[in-house]
Amino acid sequence: MSKIKNAFKNGKAFIPFITCGDPDLGTTAAAVRAAVANGADLIELGIPFSDPTAEGPVIQEANIRALSGGIKTDMIFDLVRELRTDVSVPMVFMTYANVVFSYGAERFISACAAIGIDGLILPDIPFEEKGEFLPLCRQYGVYLISLIAPTSENRIGMIAKEAEGFIYLVSSLGVTGVRSEINTDLQSIVSIIRQHTDVPCAIGFGISTPGQAKKMADLSDGAIVGSAIIKLLARYGKDAPEHIGAYVKEMKDAIR
């Protein structure tokens, strides 16, 4: 069983997103450990990028804070290496194609495999262009995670059929960020996904409350939360990990 599949084997998965290096890498490490200790099933680690096109203002600002602090990709690889001494849940990177290209695609993906990263999410790579990365990901045993959005329409089945690891189902149009309501007909999308694959599917974008997390997890295999966690980092800084731990526990309890 793949490590990512393990995240979904005991009921619904809760997946927090944390931008690496916001406000510093020590806080990132403490936040990851607090999230895992409180029930996080898989961790999505954001590698900061100067033009994060899928992100709303909250995560954009986290990227700026991290980059202003001098965060580099190699420092994040070192962070994961250190986390892997005691963190066993699956971890995936979320970043942008330019980060991978500028580092060197094979060098980047082979490093992911070496340090224990299980998957890679690249929101600016459309399904039709994944061939630039997929062979390398398969060669090194790193899943290239597919995204499906409300606009995917007649491509949903096609994307689902070839999906690996898990499917990231985008809940709403637009960028990441807390939303008061999620009104997309996600049930229909999940139904099409289920017809084409048994790869787990988790819903992200806009989820911030336990009620929303439960609703999304009831429809799918799990819930992904980013902006609400980044807000805690922005508010509490180095003291954020204990608040993140309490928040993750509340969210995980809601979807159990």
Distance CA 202, CA 171 (A): 10
State residue 51's pLDDT score: 77
Query: 111 with 73: CB under 8 angstroms?
Result: no
**Banded model confidence at residue 18, pLDDT cuts 50, 70, 90:** very high
State residue 184's pLDDT score: 66
CA nearest to 19, candidates 227, 251, 166, 241 = 227
State residue 185's pLDDT score: 82
**Banded model confidence at residue 174, pLDDT cuts 50, 70, 90:** very low
Average pLDDT along the chain = 92
Distance CA 252, CA 234 (A): 22
Neighbours of 155 (CB within 10 A): 14
Amino acid letter, 41:
D
Query: 40 with 10: CB under 8 angstroms?
Result: no
Q: What is the average pLDDT across 103-125?
A: 97
Q: Which two tokens stand for residue 54?
A: 């899928």
Q: What is the average pLDDT across 203-216?
A: 93
State residue 1's pLDDT score: 42
**Banded model confidence at residue 180, pLDDT cuts 50, 70, 90:** very low
- Is pLDDT above 70 for 220? yes
CA nearest to 133, candidates 156, 162, 106, 168 = 106
State residue 88's pLDDT score: 97
Share of the chain above pLDDT 90, in %: 82
State residue 53's pLDDT score: 66
Of 54-68, 110-124, 128-142, 168-182, the poorest mean pLDDT is in 168-182
State residue 42's pLDDT score: 98
Question: pLDDT tens-digit profile of 34-81?
Answer: 999 999 999 999 999 887 666 778 888 998 999 999 999 999 999 999
- Is pLDDT above 80 for 82? yes
- Is pLDDT above 70 for 182? no
Q: What is the average pLDDT across 82-104?
A: 97
- Is pLDDT above 60 for 194? yes
CATH 3.20.20.70 fits 13-145+208-255, yes or no: yes
Q: What is the average pLDDT across 175-190?
A: 64
Domain assignments of the chain as residue spans, ordered by start: 13-145+208-255
**Banded model confidence at residue 176, pLDDT cuts 50, 70, 90:** very low
- Is pLDDT above 50 for 104? yes
